[in-house]
A and B are shown apart, each in its own frame.
Chain A
């Protein structure tokens, strides 16, 4: 049985502008930062965030009940699709800073905690602006736990992808 459509807003206003500006700022930042990874690895680090956004917002948060809606309605809109691309610069910057400051594995939990706190603050602002609309008892503290878990897997993912990239570079070097 499909749930009735919920409408929170019908105007192109602050939530849409925040998404557009946030995405543009993120992309410009990625472009301006000195390159640290191969292009293929950079794309994977960017796509990691977008995929996690889709994973939680369209699969886990939707079933069995919809814990939150994104932007103006409970239906999927073009602005929702654009808003998930905002997670791309976030994940890229997570990996970039982790690599830039050569965070040692024993300090990873501190890095993850700081990053999860920043992410939770960003989400709090997004809720206030009207990008997220919580439902069925969902709270910001649940998101904090999810950020801790997701970013912990990101650290493991970082090492796996770096190793895969090094192996690929070696293979390419041997082949040429």
Chain B
């Protein structure tokens, strides 16, 4: 059941991402995905393997559910938040969308605990607070790196 629900969440995230008008180019989005994926994967491993603040079941179906969540749902949602924060062609950053996605991410983490995909080791309040701070950190860091990436020069050298 967890795997089916996880696949559904991932697909809903993809549908939402496809529908929403994007401010970033394809190259910007690929770079952004790489940054978010590295940030989130390294952090989750530290939380799971080093600090052990969450427990992830090693049962095959739950493992695949976790892989789907880590590969698709969370990076795509963060990409949408960062995309909304980018100023583009006279449009101002859309703070409301970014804050809404940040809150959805925090609630989504709690849903993962409800579905037993991950298990919280500490109190709910502690996890809600740390999760919201961590996701805010992901959004801020990837926003900053995307700003830097977009300002990179665009000189092509052909040999």
The interface of chain A, by Cβ under 8 A from chain B, is: 1-2, 34-41, 43-44, 47-48, 50-51, 54-55, 58-60, 62-65, 74-76, 81, 84, 100, 161, 164-165, 167-169, 171-172
Q: Are the CB atoms of B38 and A51 closer together than 8 Å?
A: yes
For the complex with contacts A44-B30, A76-B42, A76-B45, 15 further pairs of A-B residues with Cβ separation under 8 Å are: A1-B55, A2-B52, A34-B157, A36-B159, A47-B31, A50-B34, A50-B38, A51-B33, A54-B41, A55-B71, A60-B67, A63-B56, A64-B63, A161-B27, A164-B27
Q: Are the CB atoms of B34 and A44 closer together than 8 Å?
A: yes
CA separation between A93 and B110, bound complex, in Å? 42
Q: Are the CB atoms of B46 and A76 closer together than 8 Å?
A: yes
Number of contacts between A and B (CB, 8 Å)? 107
Q: Which residues of A contact B90 (CB under 8 A)?
A: none
* 29 residue pairs A–B, Cβ–Cβ below 8 Å: A2-B48, A34-B159, A36-B157, A38-B152, A38-B153, A38-B156, A39-B154, A40-B152, A47-B30, A47-B35, A48-B34, A50-B34, A50-B38, A51-B38, A54-B42, A55-B37, A59-B71, A60-B67, A65-B58, A76-B46, A76-B49, A81-B42, A100-B159, A161-B30, A164-B27, A165-B27, A168-B26, A169-B156, A171-B25
Q: Are the CB atoms of B159 and A172 closer together than 8 Å?
A: no
CA separation between A55 and B75, bound complex, in Å? 13
